[in-house]
A and B are shown apart, each in its own frame.
Chain A
Amino acid sequence: MSTNGDRRIGALGELPQDIAPARDLWPGIAAAIAAGPAGAAASPDAGAGDAGDGEGGGARAARRRWFVPESPAWALAAAVSCVAVGVWLGRASVGTVPVAAATSAMPAADAARAQLASYAPGARFERTRDALLADLGERLAQLPPETRARVEASLADVQRARADIQAALGRDPGNALLQEMLLNSYQDEMRVLTAVRETWVTGEEIGA
């Protein structure tokens, strides 16, 4: 027996497939793809290694894997370098402060600055990071030269990526994608620092 409800359920296919976003998303996309090296899309394999391009995507995505930052190649390079270190420490919160709703009532410039500032790491995270950085040199000195070089390159990549993200956020403080990438950069750095510390404590090889 077909009820009115059945008929309406059958109408699902008549719902509009296209729903335009409320704002133009292209400027954010353009900024992100421009931040990568020229011709990032020109080479079929460039930067596409873990792009989640949908080829068997669901099954592949179902596996736990290292996070790859959103798009620009410098962020990808940072993540790849971290992968080279070969650690998986999970995604710990960096203790940042979310954007306060109150910023909506501020003048635009103040709100932008407040929004950017609100994505700086929290004090507890800063203390932990400072502690890890304090004797990093000593710990690195005890690593095999090849491992040490990889760790140093990873940290340099992450820090360079963060500087780029912060610069981009300065131009577009409300960009949620950039905000998340900034948080990710702190987390990526923390993973590397933590891995070095654990190696120092346990004496195990990084990535073992």
Chain B
Amino acid sequence: MQKETGLADGGTAGARMTDVAGIEAALVARARRGDTRAFERLYREHAGRVHGLCLRMTRDPQLAEDYTQETFIRAWRALGRFEARSRMSTWLHRIAVNVILERRRRRELPLEFVEDAAEYDTDNDVLDTPVEEAELEALIGSLPPGARDVLTLCGIYGYAHSEAAGMLGIAEGTCKAQLHRARALLRARLADGEKS
């Protein structure tokens, strides 16, 4: 099912474009020529997804807003290097992750990446009960940053380990180990919660 999009009335005047990717490409082309209204349309379309990632990786609403702003500002500057075959949403997420990692280093927050990738789960859990979102989000927020980053990118946004590892600048094995670690921590904390 195609997502409802604010891009539906965009594109070249007179042209009825039903393909979101095509509309997006047209908006990107206009933005590259300096059309800020076209870029605003792209912002409106993608702000929620970028902000969602920033919020989950920072757990700080103010920082998440700042980083979302910075992501789009950098995107504007770098539009000329956006390749049409890429997905805009993935490209924006890469920029957002760069922003977050740079700021995190500048704030000297420790990253706890696990280098041992010897063992990790590959099982695929299937949900058959309602999601208790708030509780799950809170538990994700309690994870160490490295594990939280990987869980957010792979678990929530569905990136492959290779993609997430590339964004985070870590080895794919480390990414897998972090996901294993994140899930183990979540599992333990959920079990603790059920006992209490």
Residues of A within 8 A of B (CB): 2-23, 25-26, 28-30, 32-34, 36, 38-48, 51-62, 67, 70-71, 76, 91, 176-177, 180
Complex formed: what's the CA distance from A2 to B65 in Å? 38
- In the assembled complex, the Cα of A44 lies from the Cα of B32 at a distance in Å of 8
B118-145 Cβ-contact flags toward A at 8 Å (1 or 0): 0000001111110111001100100000
A29 to B69, CA, bound (A): 6
- Closest B residue to A5 by beta carbon equals B190
Asked whether, in the complex, the Cβ of A11 is within 8 Å of the Cβ of B101, the reply is: no
Total count of chain B residues near the partner, CB < 8 A: 74
- C-alpha gap A9/B143 in the complex (Å): 13
Q: When the two chains form their complex, are residues B39 and A41 in contact, meaning their CB atoms are under 8 A apart?
A: yes
Does B156 belong to the interface (CB within 8 Å)?
yes
The interface bits of chain B over 2-38 (1 if a CB of A lies within 8 angstroms of the residue's CB, else 0) are 0000000000000000000000000000011110100
Q: Which B residues are in CB contact (< 8 Å) with A71?
A: 70, 73-74, 76-77
Q: Are B52 and A16 in contact (CB under 8 A)?
A: yes
Segment 25-83 of B: residues with Cβ below 8 Å from A: 31-34, 36, 39-40, 43-44, 47-49, 51-52, 55, 61-62, 64-66, 68-70, 72-82
Contact indicator A3/B191 (Cβ below 8 Å):
yes
Report B's interface with A, CB cutoff 8 A: 31-34, 36, 39-40, 43-44, 47-49, 51-52, 55, 61-62, 64-66, 68-70, 72-82, 91-95, 97-99, 101-102, 106, 124-129, 131-133, 136-137, 140, 151, 155-158, 165-170, 183, 186-187, 190-191, 194
Name the B residues within 8 Å of A7 (CB-CB). Answer: 125-129
Which residues of B have CB within 8 Å of A180?
A: 66
In the complex, what residues of A have CB within 8 A of residue B183's CB? Answer: 9
By the criterion CB–CB under 8 Å, are B64 and A46 in contact?
Answer: no
Q: Is the CB of B126 within 8 A of A10?
A: yes
Bound form: Cα–Cα A9–B187 in Å:
7
A95 to B145 Cα, complex, angstroms: 28
Bound CA span A59–B98, Å: 9
CA distance A70 to B98 in the complex (A): 12
**Are A17 and B52 in contact, with the CB atoms below 8 A?**
yes
Q: Nearest chain-A residue to B74 (Cβ)?
A: A51
Residues of chain A within 8 A of B55, CB atoms compared:
19
Chain A's closest residue to B129 (CB) is: A7
B61 contact set on A, CB distance < 8 A:
22
Among B72, B124, B133, max chain A CB count under 10 A is at B72
B95→A43 contact, CB < 8 A: no
- Identify the closest chain A residue to B189 (Cβ): A5
Q: How far is the CB of B101 from chain A (nearest CB, A)?
A: 5
25 contacts between A and B (CB under 8 A): A5-B194, A8-B127, A9-B186, A9-B190, A10-B124, A10-B127, A11-B131, A12-B155, A14-B127, A15-B133, A17-B52, A20-B47, A25-B47, A25-B65, A28-B69, A29-B43, A33-B39, A41-B32, A41-B33, A41-B39, A44-B79, A48-B79, A57-B97, A62-B101, A71-B74
Residues of chain A contacted by B168 (CB below 8 angstroms):
58
Q: Are A58's CB and B170's CB within 8 A?
A: yes
Contact A33 B127, beta carbon cutoff 8 Å: no
A12 and B156 contact, CB distance less than 8 A = yes
List chain B residues, Cβ under 8 A from A11: 125, 127, 129, 131, 136
Contact present for B158 and A70 (CB under 8 Å): no
